A and B are shown apart, each in its own frame.
Chain A
Amino acid sequence: MSDHHNETFLSKYIFSLDHKMIAKQFLITGMFMGVVGMLMSILFRLQLSNPGESFAVLEWFLGEKWAPGGVLDPNMYLALVTMHGTILIFWVLTAGLTGTFANFLIPLQIGARDMASGFINMLSYWFFFAATVVLLTSLFVETGPAAAGWTIYPPLSALPQAIPGSGLGQDLWLIAMTLFIVSSLLGGLNYIVTILNLRTKGMSMTRLPLVMWALFIVAILGVLSFPVLLSASLLLVFDRTFGTSFYLSDIVIAGEALHHTGGSPILFEHLFWFLGHPEVYIILLPALGIVSEVISVNSRKPIFGYKAMVISLMAIAFLSFIVWGHHMFITGMDPFLGSVFTFTTLLIAIPSAVKVFNYLATLWRGSIRFTPAMLFAIGFVSTFITGGLTGIVLGDSALDINVHDTYFVVGHFHIVMGLSAIYGMFAGVYHWFPKMYGKMMNKKLGYIHFWVTFISAYGVFFPMHFLGLAGLPRRYYSNTAFPMFEGLTNINEIITFFAIVGGIVQVLFIFNFFYSIFYGTKASKNPWGSTTLEWTTPIERIHGNWPGEIPTVKRWAYDYSKPGYDIDFVPQTESLKEGEEEH
């Protein structure tokens, strides 16, 4: 393996087979989509805080058709909400997060030259890219993009008569999602095979860094659950296009009685959430893994309870397959089923609590170094606590009756899934940037980025719990149609203010990212004093990762501040001293 075989621009940057380049492609596409999704949220936040008011910026972005006179059209509002959810959940926090860090870290941390199949890996990105193009195209069709919510429940998503977005926009959404699922499956299989087969000598499963465990489990979750969404989408395509009745029954719409009988929209909900709930953990687990690494490195302490951390990851992943019904407590399903799902759902709180306690125990008596990555990891612990706790309300079927589909839910999942995962992603980028580009990201900009993000994110999502407890449903174009919600406008103004501040400060991050790629100060080989294998590679980031032999692993990944050593970390490649216990 050498770096010097003939590489054209095309083979190096575009159709690259190198896992590090593919990871960067995922990251930058994910960041781009993140900006798009966030801009959308700011557009509809303007409407929510100032219902019916005219904003030049809306007309500028959306045009005369979707924002006549600068006032957001209600159909476009629903389309923006739908696309915001789709983009953030799938494009940013699934592909952007897992795609980046699984591709980048797996070969480097387990000691492999590349992924098991570089070609499949490249296909995975290009399917994702195609999905991105199709999804973005749907923004420009005449009837608007999909608007039935990111959960695309039929019949709304099946009938163009019900909402304009369910025309061509929904078709493109389904095509994009199909491409996305193919990408995710190709990637997932590759991750699993690589971790199982390509670990270097000495790298037993129990010596894997936690982020490897997280990405491994996530890949399994994805491979098991995404095909279910694929089949659900295919049946929906059949209903939409070929006149079948899987999800449709007894419908009169726009004055016309449709021929469909015998189907059930609830069937779609079951299929959808069978993916949809594991998906939440597909988003969260990589962040849990990244945060475990970053906290341990920057506390200069081994992660507390490595085994418990692995087992709780597995427990969360397993439970995530048997809790999907908690999204459906009020669909009229058998109350007994509701009880079962309440039981399994609340069980997730146990492994989650273990994780939080173990993080706190890792910080306890550490020697904490506040890098920007560490700050985001800390932010993650905070949002994981806050958002996880409100899950105990929502998972309880009896309590869910009155907060279901209100802003309480919006607050809950944005904090526990959205913020936590995005903090995990930021932590990962700040932490591994020196390995990705050989440069350091600017520390001070990182600090400002963190503090403004942390404050404004809580400013956006914490007040939403109160909106929900006041009974305000989500996906409402405005709260002015009901006198009982009139007092809530002032909370909405606060939320929008913080959303705009939080949005603007992301410019700092993007600036810092691209500036540092070109003009950042040169990074040393192991700037954070980390034990794991990726920091034994040369700064030049060559094909095949290590110039000579792949190193052999002699110990676990968390020997920080080990007694008997002068420095406060012992790399995994260092042999155990005589009489030294592993841990």
Chain B
Amino acid sequence: MTNVFIVVISFLLVVTLVQLVRVGQLLGDIRKKDFNIVTESDNKRQSFLMLIVGLTFLTSCVWQYFAWNPLLLPSASSEHGVIIDELMRFTMILIISVFFLLHLFLFYFLHKYKKSSDKHKAYYYTHNNKLEFIWTIVPAIILTGVILYGLNVWDRITNADTSEASVIEVYGKQFGWSARYPGEDQKLGSYDYKLVGGANALGIDIDDENSLDDKVTRELHLVEGKPVLLKLRSQDIIHSAFMPHFRVQMNCVPGMTTQFTFTPTKTTKEMKMLEGDDFEYVLLCNKICGVAHYNMQMKVVVETQEEYDAWLLKQNTLSEKLLTQK
């Protein structure tokens, strides 16, 4: 029944519209002027609207910033994240200023220079090389600064010193993550995708002696203040390991290993104090990967060295897991 109503109402709306437009046109015919030619009062009304809507838009941008700022990510929980945040703040201040400035010019010009009478002529002004040179060179200089600053930060992130870092493997598959810790020998054992199966979900080569003490876990535990080198792999399709709180993201690509180095700086406990008790760090998938892409996650915990050691001790080694089954 409601469907019938909807159809009838839409039909009536269209008919009303047709009749309204026709009436407008007939009125125009009677007054002997083209209904669709823009008049002086149109210009007045539209330029005024432009000013009002434009300023409302700019105000609403400010409102959105204040209303939704608390929902945004908290400040970075990693060393490189802090310099990314600084670069972000710098860039944001720059682009937001330009955004407001250019829009104010736009809305002001539109209001000020509306066509007001047929006698008034626009100013015939084709070009001004000096002016154009200035507004090419000024953005060029500003962007040089942005580029140099950005490349410096990029360089510091991607060339981070990995000699002290502990290596952890992060492994993605439809639709979950696991982590592999190297064990006491500090070496991850080799792998082959053809070995994947059963309990050996990561395809670890058990004949490699480095593998025996590796530990595969469902959570990613990290030590506060200690650099970590993530080695990322994928079992099936491209995933992306995204840890927004640490400003860390790297794709996991089948057939190759990618990596990312960073140092966490705030423990989960500290973050719970700052952000509330239900806060958890998380690693989520950020590359479309299938039906449960939106729920492909792994809990991340940052803790002190002692807590970390105690946790790691409790995890089974691969030899315990796989060989005992054999």
Residues on A facing B (Cβ under 8 Å): 74-75, 78, 148-149, 153-156, 159, 162-163, 248-253, 255, 257, 261-266, 299-302, 304-308, 330-332, 335, 338-339, 342-343, 346-347, 349-350, 353-354, 356-358, 360-361, 363-371, 375, 378, 381-382, 385-386, 389-390, 392-393, 396-399, 401-402, 404-406, 440-445, 447, 451, 454-455, 458, 462-463, 466, 469-471, 473, 475-479, 481-484, 487-488, 491, 508, 511, 515, 519-521, 524, 527, 558, 560-563, 568, 583
Contact = CB atoms under 8 A, between A and B. Distances in A.
B35 A304 contact: no
B71 interface: yes
Interface string B56-73: 010011001000100111
Contacts of A481: 294-295, 297
Contacts of A347: 143
B255 A389 contact: no
Interface string B21-56: 110110010000011111000110011011001100
A342 B22 CA distance: 55
Contact of A368 (B57, B110, B159, B232): B110
A398 B153 contact: yes
Given A257-B197, A332-B253, A378-B110, 5 more contacts: A74-B292, A163-B290, A401-B247, A404-B286, A558-B126
Nearest to B135: A357
Interface stretch (B88-96, B213-221, B302-310): B88-96
B321 interface: no
Contacts of A455: 53, 57
Given A162-B174, A357-B135, A396 B242 contact: no
Contacts, number: 361
Contacts of B279: 484
Interface string B185-212: 0000000011011000001000000000
A342 B196 CA distance: 38
A374 B110 CA distance: 11
Nearest to A358: B132
Interface stretch (B161-169, B176-184, B233-241, B312-320): B233-241
26 contacts: A156-B288, A156-B290, A252-B236, A304-B127, A306-B127, A330-B240, A332-B258, A339-B151, A350-B140, A354-B139, A360-B102, A364-B109, A364-B123, A365-B113, A367-B120, A370-B50, A378-B106, A378-B110, A401-B248, A441-B36, A442-B21, A462-B64, A470-B71, A519-B21, A561-B124, A568-B122
Given A250-B193, A558-B126, A368 B294 contact: no
Contact of B289 (A156, A346, A369, A386): A156
B126 A406 contact: no
Report which residue of B88, B98, B140, B251 has the largest number of chain A beta carbons within 10 angstroms of its beta carbon. B251
Interface residues of B, number: 119
B154 A342 contact: yes
A343 B151 CA distance: 8
B46 A402 contact: no
Contacts of A78: 288, 290-291, 293
A560 B122 contact: yes
B155 A74 contact: no
B293 A331 contact: no
A307 B121 contact: no
Contact of B203 (A252, A262, A444, A447): A252
Contacts of B99: 385-386, 389
Given A466-B68, A521-B35, A257 B140 contact: no
A402 B76 CA distance: 11
B38 A381 contact: no
Given A257-B196, A367-B122, A561-B124, A482 B284 contact: yes
Contact of A349 (B43, B54, B139, B173): B139
Nearest to B37: A527
B84 A398 contact: yes
Given A306-B126, A481-B297, A390 B113 contact: no
Interface of B: 14, 17-18, 21-22, 24-25, 28, 34-38, 42-43, 46-47, 49-50, 53-54, 57, 60-61, 64, 68, 71-73, 81, 84, 87-88, 91-92, 94-95, 98-99, 102-103, 105-106, 109-110, 113-116, 120-128, 131-132, 135-136, 139-140, 143, 146-147, 150-151, 153-155, 157-159, 173-174, 193-194, 196-197, 203, 232, 235-238, 240, 242, 244-245, 247-251, 253-256, 258-259, 278-280, 282, 284-295, 297
Nearest to A379: B50
A471 B244 contact: yes
B290 A385 contact: no
B72 A350 contact: no
Given A251-B236, A389-B98, A484 B255 contact: no
A305 B47 CA distance: 25
A458 B110 contact: no
A482 B297 contact: yes
B288 A149 contact: yes
A243 to B, nearest CB: 16
B156 to A, nearest CB: 8
Contacts of A354: 132, 135-136, 139
A339 B91 contact: no
A553 B297 CA distance: 65
B291 A163 contact: yes
B21 A162 contact: no
A251 B193 contact: yes
B176 to A, nearest CB: 12
A476 B155 contact: no
A381 B106 contact: yes
Contacts of A560: 122, 124
B43 A368 contact: yes
Given A257-B193, A568-B122, A398 B71 contact: no
A515 B24 CA distance: 13
Contact of A363 (B68, B109, B158, B291): B109
Nearest to B251: A331
Contacts of B102: 356, 360, 385
Contacts of A515: 18, 21
A393 B297 CA distance: 26
A306 B128 CA distance: 10
Nearest to B98: A389
B147 A404 contact: no
Contact of B147 (A252, A346, A358, A583): A346
Contacts of A473: 242, 284-286
Contacts of B151: 339, 342-343, 397
